[in-house]
């Protein structure tokens, strides 16, 4: 049976969650649209980043340099390594693979979707501004089932403060750049989240208004929503209540797409 406001509030928090999803993941293709032909491919496992910088050498020929290191705050600093090996079309001989340190680099992320690569290669210094590379549209439309946690503060009703864990079903529809998320919380309570979204590489960011049963409503935003083949993962999400409550919440959600 439906519970009082505390459960309705938990339902409203489909787009908030625990620190499990709080850290930004930078794994993606990155580029500068004004500098065609070069870019950076970033892989991330835990707090370790591995970046391959596809660029041009001093003769103008294509080459790649690699950078690896731990993400400290919003930066990764390390050696730039150039690798050469067996010629294309010849049997692969691992003894011919040679890795040479040719410089250093610092990769700094100003937010979830923008970065700067500062480098010195063979004594030549430079700076490359980067954004996530969008080359194909993402489609979030579908039905999902999952769970989330959220951390609330500043609530009028003290029972709504702190961490709340819950399960819910979600239905997502789009129309051009408009996004609508319908939520049905297991145990009672429904919410509707309407807004607009922008794709940034393999992620989308979105913001808008929400309203829920019980007269609760306000604004919501997410800087990082990751869409996988069979899942929907939202992190760095924030809610601000302007009706029915005064909470502010942050966190994320993870849900599996129903077939």
Instruction: Sort 131 into a burial class: Cβ within 10 Å, 0-12 / 13-18 / 19+.
Output: middle
Q: How far apart are CA 218 and CA 258, in angstroms?
A: 28
pLDDT in tens, 19-41: 444 478 999 999 999 998 999 99
Domains by residue range for the chain, with CATH: 5-23+136-257 (2.40.128), 28-132 (no CATH)
Q: pTM for the complete prediction?
A: 0.82
Encoded tokens for 167: 């399960």
Q: How far apart are CA 223 and CA 200, in angstroms?
A: 10
The one-character DSSP state at 6 is H
Residue with tokens 């067996």: 86
pLDDT in tens, 153-197: 999 999 999 998 889 999 999 999 999 999 999 989 999 999 999
Residue with tokens 């939520």: 183
């Amino acid at each position: 049976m439906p519970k009082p406001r505390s459960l309705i509030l938990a339902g409203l928090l489909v787009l908030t969650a625990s620190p499990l999803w709080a850290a930004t993941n930078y794994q993606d293709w990155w580029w500068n649209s004004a500098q065609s032909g070069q870019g950076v491919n970033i892989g991330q496992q835990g707090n370790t980043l591995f970046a391959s910088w596809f660029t041009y050498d001093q003769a103008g020929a294509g080459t790649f340099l690699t950078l690896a290191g731990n993400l400290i705050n919003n930066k990764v600093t390390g050696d730039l390594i150039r690798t050469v090996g067996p010629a294309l079309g010849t049997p692969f001989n691992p003894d011919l693979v040679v890795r040479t340190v040719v410089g250093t680099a610092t990769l700094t992320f100003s937010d979830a979707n923008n970065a700067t690569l500062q480098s010195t290669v063979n004594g030549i210094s430079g700076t490359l501004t980067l954004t996530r590379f969008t080359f194909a549209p993402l489609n979030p439309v579908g039905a999902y089932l999952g769970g989330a946690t959220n951390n609330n503060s500043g609530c009028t009703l003290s029972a709504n403060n702190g961490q709340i864990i819950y399960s819910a079903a979600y239905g997502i529809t789009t129309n051009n750049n408009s996004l609508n998320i319908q939520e049905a919380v297991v145990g009672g309570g429904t919410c509707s989240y309407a807004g607009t979204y922008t794709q940034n590489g393999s992620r989308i960011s979105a913001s808008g208004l929400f309203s829920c049963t019980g007269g609760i409503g306000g604004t919501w935003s997410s800087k990082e929503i990751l869409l996988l083949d069979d899942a929907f993962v939202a992190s760095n999400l924030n809610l601000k209540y302007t009706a029915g409550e005064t909470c502010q919440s942050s966190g994320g959600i993870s849900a599996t797409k129903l077939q």
